[in-house]
Amino acid sequence: MTIHPIVVCGEPVLHRKAEKIDSFDAELAELIDDMFETLAASNGVGLAAPQIGVGKQIFVYDADDEVAGVRRRGVFVNPILAASKIPDGRPSIEDESEGCLSVPALDFPLKRAHKVTINGVDGTGEPVSLTVEGWFARIMQHEYDHLQGTLYVDRLDKKWSKKWKRAQREFGYNEPGLSWLPGTDEDPFGH
């Protein structure tokens, strides 16, 4: 298994819709193994293929589902997501702040749907489905967005979008070619 560099905001693959996967072969199995290895090294909770420079519709996750009281680890290939209504109002800094491995060292509050159902297939082409709530629903929405070419910072409200624009200039997160290697480079989130 290989730990891949995580590409940073500004890399074109992060800003375009990923391609569907139609071949469930040894190459895909290796990609999934590499993604889990990269996720573990990054101390993240989810990782989409575009984040390692692969424009394919696949993401992995490994995180606690506090609402269900279980740890969930798995993969979604070619997923479809249905979400409940996003609540009105301003996002809470304490309860709704979100980060991203492709936007290192930063987090911003963002409103998300409280409940989602996600359907797709696993790495062998077998159907998988989850209906989740709370923080785990946030993770599913975040990773699904990556496959649509959307970063969480693209969804920020006006106030936080202005702060993001300033941070983007400060950190240089608008140019292609930036990446960090989990397990080798300093952890930008301080884990």
On whether 9 is known to bind a ligand per the annotation, the reply is: no
Neighbours of 97 (CB within 10 A): 14
Sign of the dihedral through C-alpha 51, 176, 150, 139: positive
Residue type, position 65, single letter:
D
| 15 assigned to a ligand binding site | no
Q: Please list, residue by residue across 62-87, b when 16 or more beta carbons sit within 10 angstroms of its beta carbon and e when fewer do.
A: bbebeeeeeebeebbbbbebebeeee
- Please tell me the distance from the alpha carbon of residue 18 to that of residue 148, in angstroms, as a whole number: 6
The answer to whether residue 19 is catalytic is no
Say if residue 142 carries a ligand binding annotation: yes
Sheet holding 115-121, edge to edge: 46-48, 58-65, 70-83, 115-121, 127-133
Q: Which two tokens stand for residue 60?
A: 């992995």
Catalytic residue among 19, 143, 170, 186: 143
Q: Which residues sit in the known binding site for Fe cation?
A: 100, 142, 146
- Which sequence positions are flagged as catalytic? 143
Q: Which residues sit in the known binding site?
A: 100, 142, 146
